[in-house]
Amino acid sequence: MSASSDKVIFYAYARSPMWHKIRNVLILKRIPHAMVPVADMPPRPALQRLGVTYRRIPVMAIGNDLFFDTSLMVSELEKRFTPENGHPALLDVHRGIQEIASAFWSDRILFPITGSLLPQKKLSEAFIKDRTQYNPNARMDKLDALRPAGLSALQSHLKFLAKQLSTSSTPFLLGTQSPSYIDVSFFTVVIWAKSLRTADDILILPSSKAPPPYRRVMEWVEAVDATIKAEAGNPASKTETLDDGKAAELIFSSAPTSLNVGVDKLNPMVKAGWLAEGDLVSVTPTDTGRIPQYGTLVGLSDDIIALRVQAPSGDKSLVGHFPAIGYSVKKNKLESTRL
């Protein structure tokens, strides 16, 4: 069990690859959880009622604490759900490399490359318009025409996975007996690419039919897939569907548990006088979905940025956590609205 008995809640939609990644982590770590279904594009009233303007999916809530970005979610789950309590560790080897490669190679480089393989004719006009705003670099109106560039990039990235696998004595990337987080991160993106059917000449399964040097990569896909499938039926990682009203009630009736982080006075931005505890700030992703989240700064460390976020109605609030890198935090000019 976790250190607290709070439900682990996710706001997500079934087709979201980043939700699939988290779901695979929850399966391997045997964590029971609830999901509040949201639409595959805004508006998302279930998040609006919490005061969340950050637009990316999934969002994780545990008690009164919200976590943004899957990399931070996994780190928090690893902290709260430990092997001593029946939850296998996914980050027990080469932790720094696993986290940075997942967040800044798999999530930020390979994931958008795979997005460029989406079959244009199967996408609605509304979706193309929305995702163009979400990521202006995505060239959503030219997906089919630009596909060779995406396929070529995919091949080059798979080559690095092949190189890494050639040094492993097990089917997994880091020589472990079962998949680590880094396996889950890359696997989820590769399997998403496979499901789009636009990379069939590259992602060849069964692995015995794949040409070298990709055969080893396809064997790795099969090994990770088999492990997840074998674990998927375990009632310990069951997904319960939760109504958004009930989820909001659970969030607002809990006290935040991570407030003790505080604002690090030695942080260079604090020392420079740019930021101080209690400032009204905005936090914005530096890559895609650059919609700011506003709140009062309550935590700043090498690992996280934490904001107290006010719900639009009543005097309810929650604490939202972002990773310290990959997000920019700025003092809001409208200082008169200090909460």
Ligand X SMILES: N[C@@H](CCC(=O)N[C@@H](CS)C(=O)NCC(=O)O)C(=O)O
| Chosen residue from 2, 16, 24, 282 binding ligand X by CB under 6 A | 16
17 binds ligand X (CB under 6 A): yes
Question: Distance between terminal CA atoms of the chain?
Answer: 35
CA torsion through residues 154, 189, 289, 98, sign: negative
Task: Spell out the residues 6+ positions from residue 210 whose beta carbon is closer than 8 angstroms to its own.
Answer: 204, 217, 218
107 binds ligand X (CB under 6 A): yes
- Check if the beta carbon of residue 117 is closer than 8 Å to that of residue 196: yes
In the bound state with ligand X, the residue whose beta carbon lies nearer, of 11 and 220, is 11
Per-residue binding string, ligand X, 276-315, x by CB under 6 A, is ------------xx--------------------------
Give me the least distance between CB of 192 and ligand X, in Å please. Answer: 9
- Decide: residue 170, CB within 10 A, 0-12 exposed, 13-18 middle, 19+ buried: middle
75 binds ligand X (CB under 6 A): no
Per-residue binding string, ligand X, 37-56, x by CB under 6 A, is ---xx-------------xx
109 binds ligand X (CB under 6 A): no
- Check if the beta carbon of residue 280 is closer than 8 Å to that of residue 335: yes
The two structure tokens encoding residue 139: 């060239």
Tell me, by CB under 6 A, how many residues bind ligand X. 15
> Cα–chain-centroid distance for residue 131?
17
Give me the least distance between CB of 335 and ligand X, in Å please. Answer: 29
In the bound state with ligand X, the residue whose beta carbon lies nearer, of 7 and 55, is 55
- Per CB under 6 A, residues contacting ligand X are 16-18, 40-41, 55-57, 69-71, 107, 134, 288-289
